[in-house]
Amino acid sequence: MMNEFLTLLPFLREHYRRYLLGVACVLAVDFLQMLIPRLLGLFTDALLLSPVHTGQLRFYLYLIVAIAAAMAFSRYLWRLYIMGTAQLLEQYLRNLLFQHLQKLPPAFYLRHRTGELMAHLTNDINAVRNSLGISIVLLVDAVFLTAMAVFFMVTTVGYGLTLLALIPLPLLAVSFKKLGTAIYQRFLGVQESFGTLTETVKENISGIRLVKAFALEDTEKERFSAAAADYMQKNFHLYRAWGLYNPLAFFFALLSFMIVVIVGGRMVMEGRISTGDFVAFNGYVVLLAWPMMAAGWVVNFLQRGRASMERINRLLQEEEAAAEGGRPALDPATVQGDLRLEQLTFRYEGAPGDALRDLSFTIPRGKITVLTGQIGSGKSTLLYLLLRFFTPQKGQIFLGEHPLESFSLSAWRSSIGYLPQDGFIFAGSIAANISFARPNATREEIAEVARLAALDTEIASFPDAYDTPVGERGITLSGGQQQRLSLARALLPRPAFLFLDDPFSAVDLATAEKITANLAGLKDTTIVLVSHRLQTFKQAHKIIVLEKGRLAAEGTHGELLGRKDGAYLRLCRDQLWQEKIGQA
């Protein structure tokens, strides 16, 4: 039943001593607590004596106060050890999960929503923390107090009345078992609904400008309300099961108490037990009410933790990206030769057709190669394969005579600069965003790559220059500035290979020409860029034209124009029309 928690064994092996100390403190509290009803019984009998021995009464009172002080100190210690260790567990599990997310391949993030992953890192981990925190205290309480209460009940009045008082316990256990199964299933639904709710909020806040631009606030309110209502309904469904715990425990505890009052009261009247024994016995019966309720809380916390741990385990079992592999000593930057594709075919998981099919061509080393073609022709997908984000189903990519798999992932990606279509801007300063690619870069190096990206003049005009904050996702920058900032970041490591996905889509023609000229001046850097700009075509050493995932044409600008027909000529005509319209 609890196999879900086996993932936590390394942590438990390291910190079990803290748990044991905490449990010892809980046992100390419980043991001391069991003495109080017995002392109250003795106090009652002493009070009924004639004459009353005041010294003996004071002794019992002082002893009860001392026991209460010892219980308070022990309670402090178990909170320190058990609840503190549960916090360490939360930190351990969150780090474990985050590190695993860092290692998962890009394909994983195509299948999972950000809100769902956030739910794993928040609510699920909190549920696991509770299941190995407060529930341990409650479990020890329930088991020890029940055992000790029964022991003292037997030693006080014998087996007969004790067995009668315990009749409700088996009925309570059966009820809790059925409720526990229901809680496990329903809590899974609650957590999945919370992931959907989190994703809805994340999307709405991230796209708030678009929502306002289209005046869709009311539509988004309805979408959020629907997600919140689903989360609420699933929680109500959970609480219908959880809410039965305390009433059931109270009912069965009251049933035990009524049995004791009726049967035990008759035994007092018949002189079979003393009034003090009857008071002590009732004290132990009252103490049994708490273990009954605690057992309900334990089942609740453990079933919630079990459900959350199952969700976390499913995530941890996701296959990580390809291991480092390759030859560590093999440095891509020093390997001579071109990038070469041979019969490359790739299809996204679940897609109806191939994104790329039978691609075979060469990307010359140290030159600028432009990938172009209509939308959906496979240009970005090809960059993903060059970055080794995905593995082709057929064919291979070579650098010189070495397959890309010959290089470790860290070595290959350390030699690469990459600009995606949607370059991500962090909520820091301009300098911090550029230096993300190399945190120890000097301000002079940052300024140099900003110049290559044609962004230096604009940065100089900002009040705080490179220390200017850009806001979340670069909201204070224009689209063109965001794109060039991302380009500067890609250039900072001075990579041997530079992969740029449509780097000029948000800049004007003159700026694009300036950037292209700057890139052409990068010696010994192999540049592969996706573009539809005619001026970029003219400065490229080689142009690859893709059409529906296949190679439609390759060559220089002049060679491709000389063919007088085909996909490339159509692209050039479209670009000329767009430039004329832009100049009009």
Percentage above 70 pLDDT, the chain: 90
Segments in 364-408 forming alpha helices (H): 379-386
Among 394, 510, 486, which residue's Cα sits nearest to residue 433?
486
- Confidence band for 227, pLDDT divided at 50, 70 and 90: confident
* pLDDT reported for residue 323: 52
Task: Give the residue among 171, 139, 104, 181 at the shortest CA–CA distance from 27.
Answer: 139
Amino acid identity of residue 307, one-letter, is A
Domains, the chain, in order of start with CATH, read: 86-316 (1.20.1560.10), 339-415+498-584 (3.40.50.300), 424-494 (3.40.50.300)
Cα atoms found within 13 Å of the Cα of residue 152, Cβ hemisphere only: 28
Nearest partner of 311 among 448, 184, 171, 458, judged by Cα: 184
Cα separation, 551 vs 544, in Å, equals: 7
Beta pairing, strands 356-363 & 402-403: unpaired
- Are the C-beta atoms of 430 and 468 separated by less than 8 Å? yes
Q: Which two tokens stand for residue 141?
A: 């309480």
Q: What is the pLDDT of residues 178-190, one digit of tens each?
A: 777 777 778 778 8
pLDDT tens per residue, range 511-560: 888 888 888 888 888 889 988 877 778 888 888 888 888 888 888 888 87
Residue 151 C-beta-side C-alpha neighbours within 13 Å: 9
Mean pLDDT for the stretch of residues 275-302: 73
Amino acid 503: pLDDT: 82
**Residue 211 phi, psi (nearest 5):** -60, -45
Please say if the pLDDT value at position 5 is more than 60.
yes
Mean pLDDT, the chain, rounded, equals: 80
Please tell me the predicted confidence (pLDDT) of residue 584: 46
Burial string for 194-217 (b: 16+ CB within 10 Å, else e) reads bbbbbbbeebbeeeeeebeeeeee
d(CA 63, CA 39): 8
- pLDDT tens for residues 11-67? 989 898 999 999 899 888 878 877 776 777 677 767 666 665 677 677 777 888 888
Per-residue pLDDT tens over the stretch 119-152 = 788 878 888 888 888 888 888 877 887 787 777 7
Cβ atoms within 10 A of the Cβ of 163, count?
12
Structure tokens at 528: 């592969």
Nearest-angstrom CA–CA distance, 94 and 114: 16
Tokens of 580: 């004329």
Task: At 372, give phi and psi (nearest 5°).
Answer: -140, 170
pLDDT (tens digit, 9 = 90+) per residue, 94-112?
888 888 888 887 777 777 7
Mean pLDDT in residue range 149-167: 75
Quickly tell me which residue has 């001579």 as its tokens.
336
